[in-house]
Structure 1
Amino acid sequence: MKQHSHMPKPPPRDWTIIALMVLLVALVVASFASLPLKWRDFFTFDAINSATELLAGFAPPETSTPFLVKTAWATLETMSMSALGTLLAVIAGLALGLPASGRLGQGPRVLVRALLNVLRSIPELVWASILLIAAGLGPFGGTLALAAHTAGVLGRLFADALENAAPGPEQTLRTNGATAAAAFFYATLPQTLPQMLSYTLYRWENNIRAAAILGVVGAGGLGQMLKYHLSLFQMQQAATVIIAMLVLVAVVDAASYALRRALTR
């Protein structure tokens, strides 16, 4: 008598994923259909000629010693804004991430997560526009703007990292008589610290770019220099500032990548 092998039934099809994909494709198609995209005008002879003349105006970059010294100081100011803003955001993110992770109860968790949503939903430029009115023009308002937005981002990431940490080591320490604070610092925090440092370095990279842009609204640094020279159509000086931005971002990206590699070994 033959034994018939029973084939396993195929898993049920997840129609939710399919519906989401169809909706996403429909949104993309609707976006292209609703926006007045003039691709043909972009590749006309006049458009190409105008773009070529604009780019030719950037050459050669300004290389006089006084201007290079001024650009170097602006670069240092941009770096300082991003570093200090990130540091303040890390402190605030840790302070807000603890209650947002639910370690102090569900009531504080809901309230703090709502605060984090507000902080990170407001872009850096909007924060800078608000804070520059109170703090005045200069890097101080830009630094606070970076700190406010980044605190919302890091606070949420830190809270998720704490929530996803394995509870076993901390519970073991608590069972053996350790206090709640000691169990957290010796069991949970070491688990999440590499991930938190990785998030911090990534946000520092983003803040370098954001600090350069915030100068457009008067927050100092390279962005303010770029806006000034572009408004006066001083393209050669603007080219030097743009090169300084590119070099700064490249250096910070390389340093951050090296630090992340060292942390994951």
Structure 2
Amino acid sequence: MTDAVARPAAAIPNPPVKSMGAWVLDVLIWGGVAALLVYSFGPVELNHATRLFDPSESTRNFARELLRPDLTDWRLFVSKMWETIQIALWGTFLAVFAAIPMGLAAARNIAPVWVVTPVRWVMNLLRSIPDLVIGLLFVVAVGLGPLPGVLAIALNTAGVLAKLFSEAVESIDKGPVEGVRATGATKLHEIVWGVIPQVAPLWTSFALYRFESNSRSATVLGLIGAGGIGQVLFDRMNAFDFRDVSAIVIIVVVAVTLIDMLSQAMRKRLL
């Protein structure tokens, strides 16, 4: 009998309403973005985009050559691509070891502000300098070859990973850390047993992602003489040997795709 009694319907809450100040702020932000896009239309020459649909004879010849890759020197291209992967691997490896202490020192929940602030300045500096600029500096310092590429990738990636690592540390659950602290453990023990186990899978995922990205960055670094497939690609482009350029691009795409598949499989096992 009581089950048949109709219960009063629960009151449906009103949808959230933005304040006038929030609406004004949204209009200013998105209006500013729209105005910047309109203003930048001319400087970036988007009005010349119609040239893509009216190619010149040289462009047609270029496209025709790209569609006929020449794999005669495929052994050279594959060996240089392998060198590029090794550059990315060592650059990422060194970056991880530099990023771990910086990431911990830059986390506001485990380090004092007088440590966090200068470490974050160093991280911003490493991230703000492009790979090519760092690579050129190392080419001047140590000469042509793979080493400048490894060092350039290591420095830039260290800044990026340190930022990601510190944000992961700042979002951890405080419970395990407080549990370790309750045993009378030192600060180092809190980090080793309370922090690292929580962030290790995420850190590994970040490192694998950066390795994928660095495999492409190492290709570009070859253009400044930092070794790898990029140096061969630059030479072939200067010689207008577009059939070889097409073959190199195919090898790069295949290599990066395989790295991406391997990285995804590793991340699935970790996360």
TM-score by length of 1: 0.90
Alignment of 1:1-265 (within 5 A): 10-13=16-19, 14-15=22-23, 16-36=25-45, 37-44=47-54, 47-64=55-72, 67-102=73-108, 103-264=110-271
Following the alignment from structure 1 to structure 2, what is the Cα–Cα distance between the partners of residues 189 and 136? 38
Match of 2:184, SS state, is coil
Following the alignment from structure 2 to structure 1, what is the Cα–Cα distance between the partners of residues 265 and 96? 20
Deviates more, 1:28-37 or 1:84-93: 28-37
Following the alignment from structure 1 to structure 2, what is the Cα–Cα distance between the partners of residues 7 and 201? 45
Following the alignment from structure 2 to structure 1, what is the Cα–Cα distance between the partners of residues 229 and 43? 37
How many residue pairs align between the two structures? Answer: 256
Match of 1:137, SS state, is coil
CA spacing shift, 1:257–1:10, aligned 2, 3 Å = closer
Following the alignment from structure 1 to structure 2, what is the Cα–Cα distance between the partners of residues 242 and 6? 58
Letter in 2 for 1:55: A
Following the alignment from structure 1 to structure 2, what is the Cα–Cα distance between the partners of residues 59 and 156? 42
TM-score by length of 2: 0.88
Structure 1 residue ranges, 4+ long, deviating more than 4 angstroms after superposition: 5-10
Following the alignment from structure 1 to structure 2, what is the Cα–Cα distance between the partners of residues 177 and 158? 26
Q: CA RMSD, aligned part only?
A: 1.9
Following the alignment from structure 1 to structure 2, what is the Cα–Cα distance between the partners of residues 227 and 255? 28
* Structure 2 unmatched runs, 5+: 1-10
Following the alignment from structure 1 to structure 2, what is the Cα–Cα distance between the partners of residues 233 and 6? 69
Compute the displacement of 1:179 (Å).
2.4
Residues 170-199 of structure 1 deviation map (CA, whole Å, 9 limit, x = unaligned): 112111222222222122111111111111
Counting aligned pairs with the same residue, the percent is 33
